[in-house]
Amino acid sequence: MATWRMRVIGGLLLLLMVGMCSPVCVEVLSGTEAVQGQNMTLLCISCMQREEVYAVTNVEWYYEPSNGNRSLIYEYNEGKPREHMSQFKGRLMWIGSKDLQDVSLVLQNVTLMDSGRFICNVNRTLHFEQHQHYTTSNVEIFLTVSKIQKEDFTSVLSEIMMYILLAFLTLWLLIEVVYCYRKISKAEEVTQESVTDYLAIPSENKESCQVPVEEQ
C-alpha cells in the first residue's frame, strides 16, 4: 500500500513538473491497426532540434499499397494543406500542430482497401544567421484494417484481474460480516447467561455476588 501511494504521489509530482515546464516534443509511434468504418489517426511527429531557429517545414504524405505503386496523397507546403487525387480524397483531415512538429492526419471512414504503407516525409529548412540547413525525416506506418476490432490482450487481462479482485474483496467482506455476527451473537449469549445466573441467586446472597463480565 505504501509503495502504491508513493507511485501515485510521484506521478502527480511528475505531472506538476511537466505542467510548470515548457512543452517538450516527444516522438510517439503511430497505431497500425484500424477498424472498418471508423476513423484512424496517422500519427507523425518530427521534433525540431533547435526550436529557437526559424524553420520552413514542408510535409508530404505518401501511400503505398501491397503492389508497391507509391503515390502522393497529401502535402502541407508553405502553410497551405493540399489533398491530392487518390482513394483517400475527401477523407483526410489535417490535425498538425502550429509549430509543425506534429504533422499527423486523420483518415476518416476507413475501408478494407486502405490497408498498406503510409509514409510521412518531413522536410525542414533551418535559417541560421550565416547559412541554411536542410533536414529530412521519414515515418512509416504499416496500416492493417479489419472488419471488427481485435481484442487487446492487455486490456482483456486487466479486465480479468479486475473481476478477480472484485470477487476476492466480496468474499473477504462476506467473511468479515459472518465473523462479526458470530462474535456479537456469542457475546450476547454470554451476557444473557450471566444475567440468568444472577437472577437465580437468592436475594440475600446478591449483595456479595458480582455478575461476571467477560473481558473483550
How does DSSP assign 133-191, residue by residue?
A: EEEEEEEEEEEEEESSPPPPHHHHHHHHHHHHHHHHHHHHHHHHHHHHHHHHHHHHHHH
Fill in the amino acid letter for 157: L
How is residue 182 written as a grid cell? 458470530
> Cα–Cα distance between 162 and 77 in angstroms, integer?
49
CATH 3.40.50.1950 correct for 27-148: no
pLDDT for res 116: 96
Q: What sign has the CA pseudo-torsion 30, 139, 74, 34?
A: negative
How is residue 193 written as a grid cell? 447467561
pLDDT for res 38: 95
pLDDT for res 64: 96
Q: Decide if 44 contacts 104 (C-beta within 8 A).
A: yes
Mean pLDDT by 10 residues, the chain (216 residues): 44 42 73 94 88 86 91 92 94 94 96 96 89 91 87 68 86 87 80 66 57 53
pLDDT for res 19: 40
Domain ranges of the chain: 27-148, 154-202
> Cα–Cα distance between 44 and 27 in angstroms, integer?
8
Whole-model pTM above 0.95?
Answer: no
> Cα–Cα distance between 122 and 71 in angstroms, integer?
16
Residue 208 Cα to chain centre, angstroms: 73
3-state secondary structure of 66: coil
Q: Which of 144, 142, 146 is nearest to 120 (CA)?
A: 142
Q: Which of 133, 143, 136, 106 is nearest to 121 (CA)?
A: 136
